[in-house]
């Protein structure tokens, strides 16, 4: 591990965006202390209350120190959808813990500068595109919903930085009293001088405190936290403080970080938001494989942090949808897959990353229709990773070609083991998503698609391993005893003339 650590540190210092904190030892302002000894840190979004649940762990917060962007706060201030950094301990069961401190922070505090766009399900705030998903919580303070917001209304946005100028919201809340200052977390686009941009906003840092930045300036693509007066003039905002975002260069025994891959050297060296992550042969994966990691993919990484680098023992894929098949239609905005025409796949979302060459600087992967050559054409094989939106539809975070689906592939499945899931008479189809409904013993529904498992020869698998190291085949009774609404299931089948014959289902939870 020492060899891996030294090799990794050298590489990560030169990858680029968001890594300067790991090389310089800077801290974010989320309360990370300097060399304060091993502890557990969880960076993510509150998914349930009763104390707080973050990254699948329920933390008891009685007696913990709670703070927010403005200083001290109370336990009663917790809300589902908030960004938090939890420091404390995790119980032996791995599902519960005790929080010593909780820092609540937002991605944006600022004015609405572009009204809600229902077609693209987005909102403009402080020069940023705020994406709305079915997981976004709209706070009751926004009376009448997002369409009721007016230009100049001040809001607080929690969520994840997806790319330059794009934030996927988990909570949007209207601010009641006028703000004295604005806040923003984003990827600085900087070349020289005393200004940089984040999305559509120009930040003037000529009078700002930037001591915690290496050389007093941001690295191009670095994730930064900006604070400044509540005034934007002709698209320019005067910053008062600019600091690196993230945990900095501290050591922690156990860290959990959730977010989007914003920079990447290869599938073993990448960043989630600003946190450098490395993997090796001992890393375990859930919901995907090492080769599935790419820009714009949502992950949770767990492991020890050493010299500011998270050495992951577990990677969990947070996109909950994968579709493989043959392109049936594609107009550069919406695509459908043969046999799954009821699922509209949006391929021009701001988070869209086309392939390994895509960037997060706004030049390739952001707004606008997708040129026809960037997405497989009608009749070609395609693989889509993304997340579910309203109406059983999907917003793609990654789209790429999939060999062997045009005209029948004859073998293989999505996990690469070369057996099951396809035959010579049809095009392979893979559908992975959360279960919407279950009819015990016979069928379940994902993304509005009913999968009948009662046909002779239908194969059911769990996410455990058999004696040979493959997926464990189970009986229908066992399968449906385990299957619950909300679990992720992967189904495979063959498509002929728009009709899919499903042949295999696997619980991938």
Name the β-bridge partners of 112.
125
Give pTM, 2 decimals: 0.63
Residue linked to tokens 């239908």: 458
- Residues 53, 13 contacting (CB under 8 angstroms): no
Element (H, E) at 180: none
460-473 residue pLDDT tens? 998 655 434 456 89
**Non-local CB neighbours of 468 within 8 Å, separated by 6+ positions:** none
Domains along the chain? 2-105+248-317 (2.40.50.140), 108-244 (no CATH), 319-406 (2.40.50), 426-509 (2.40.50)
Mean pLDDT of the region 169-193: 94
Greater confidence (86 vs 34) lies with: 86
Q: How far apart are CA 73 and CA 236, in angstroms?
A: 31
Q: What angle (nearest 5°) sits at the alpha carbon of residue 46, between those of residues 156 and 227?
A: 35
Give me the chain's average pLDDT, please.
79
Helices (H) and strands (E) in the chain, counts: 3, 38
Indicate if the pLDDT at residue 477 is higher than 70.
Answer: yes
pLDDT of residue 75: 63
Q: Rounded to 10 degrees, what is the CA torsion of 175, 179, 181, 185?
A: 10
309-335 residue pLDDT tens? 899 999 987 767 999 999 999 888 889
Indicate if the pLDDT at residue 22 is higher than 60.
Answer: no
Which stretch, 285-299, 360-374, 484-498, has highest mean pLDDT? 484-498
- Residues 122, 158 contacting (CB under 8 angstroms): no
457 token code pair: 């020869």
Indicate if the pLDDT at residue 19 is higher than 80.
Answer: no
Indicate if the pLDDT at residue 425 is higher than 80.
Answer: no
pLDDT of residue 393: 83
Indicate if the pLDDT at residue 361 is higher than 50.
Answer: no
Query: What own/partner pairs with CB < 8 Å and gap ≥ 24 does 2-11 have?
Result: 4/278, 4/280, 4/311, 5/306, 5/307, 5/309, 5/311, 8/269, 8/276, 8/278, 8/309, 8/311, 9/307, 9/309, 11/265, 11/269
Q: How far apart are CA 43 and CA 256, in angstroms?
A: 6
Indicate if the pLDDT at residue 135 is higher than 80.
Answer: no
39-70 residue pLDDT tens? 788 888 898 887 888 888 889 988 888 888 77
Q: How far apart are CA 298 and CA 286, in angstroms?
A: 12
């Amino acid at each position: 591990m020492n060899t891996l650590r030294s090799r990794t540190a050298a590489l990560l210092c030169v990858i680029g965006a968001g890594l300067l904190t790991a090389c310089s030892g800077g801290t974010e302002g989320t309360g990370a202390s300097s060399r304060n000894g091993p502890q557990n840190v969880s960076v993510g979004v509150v998914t349930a209350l009763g104390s707080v649940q973050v990254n699948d762990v329920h933390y008891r917060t009685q007696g913990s120190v709670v703070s927010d962007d403005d200083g001290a706060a109370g336990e009663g201030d917790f809300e589902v959808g908030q960004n938090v950094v939890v420091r404390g301990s995790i119980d032996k069961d791995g599902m519960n813990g005790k929080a010593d401190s909780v820092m609540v922070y937002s991605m944006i505090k600022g004015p609405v500068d572009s009204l809600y766009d229902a077609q693209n399900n987005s909102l403009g705030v402080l020069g940023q595109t705020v994406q709305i998903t079915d997981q976004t919580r709209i706070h009751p303070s926004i009376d009448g919903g997002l369409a009721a917001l007016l230009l100049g209304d001040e809001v607080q946005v929690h969520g994840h930085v997806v790319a330059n100028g794009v934030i996927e919201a988990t909570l949007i809340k209207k601010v009641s009293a006028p703000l004295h200052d604005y806040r923003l977390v984003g990827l600085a686009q900087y070349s020289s001088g005393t200004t940089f941009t984040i999305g559509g906003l120009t930040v003037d840092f000529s009078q700002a405190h930037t001591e915690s930045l290496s050389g007093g300036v941001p690295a191009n693509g670095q994730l930064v936290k900006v604070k400044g007066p509540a005034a934007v003039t002709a698209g320019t905002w005067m910053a008062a403080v600019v600091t690196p975002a993230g945990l900095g260069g501290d050591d922690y025994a156990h860290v959990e970080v959730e977010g989007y891959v914003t920079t990447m050297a290869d599938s073993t060296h990448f960043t989630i938001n600003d946190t450098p992550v490395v993997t090796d042969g001992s890393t375990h994966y859930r919901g995907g494989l090492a080769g599935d990691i790419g820009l714009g993919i949502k992950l949770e990484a767990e492991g020890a942090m050493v010299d500011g680098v998270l050495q992951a023992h577990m990677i969990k894929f947070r996109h909950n949808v994968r579709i493989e098949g043959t392109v049936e239609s594609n107009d550069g905005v919406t695509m459908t897959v043969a046999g799954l025409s009821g699922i509209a796949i949006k391929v021009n979302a701001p988070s869209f990353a086309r392939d390994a060459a895509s960037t997060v600087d706004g030049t390739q992967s952001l707004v606008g229709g997708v040129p026809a050559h960037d997405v497989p054409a009608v009749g070609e094989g395609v693989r889509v990773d993304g997340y579910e939106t309203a109406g059983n539809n999907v917003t793609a975070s990654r789209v790429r070609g999939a060999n062997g689906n045009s005209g029948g592939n004859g073998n293989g499945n999505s996990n690469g083991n070369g057996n099951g899931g396809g035959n010579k008479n049809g095009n392979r189809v893979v559908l992975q998503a959360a279960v919407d409904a279950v009819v015990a013993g016979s069928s379940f529904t994902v993304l509005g698609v009913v999968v009948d498992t009662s046909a002779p020869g239908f194969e059911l698998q769990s996410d455990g391993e058999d004696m040979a190291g493959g997926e464990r085949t189970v009986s229908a009774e066992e399968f449906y005893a385990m299957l619950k609404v909300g679990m992720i299931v992967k189904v495979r089948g063959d498509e002929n003339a728009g009709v899919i014959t499903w042949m295999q289902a696997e619980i991938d939870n």
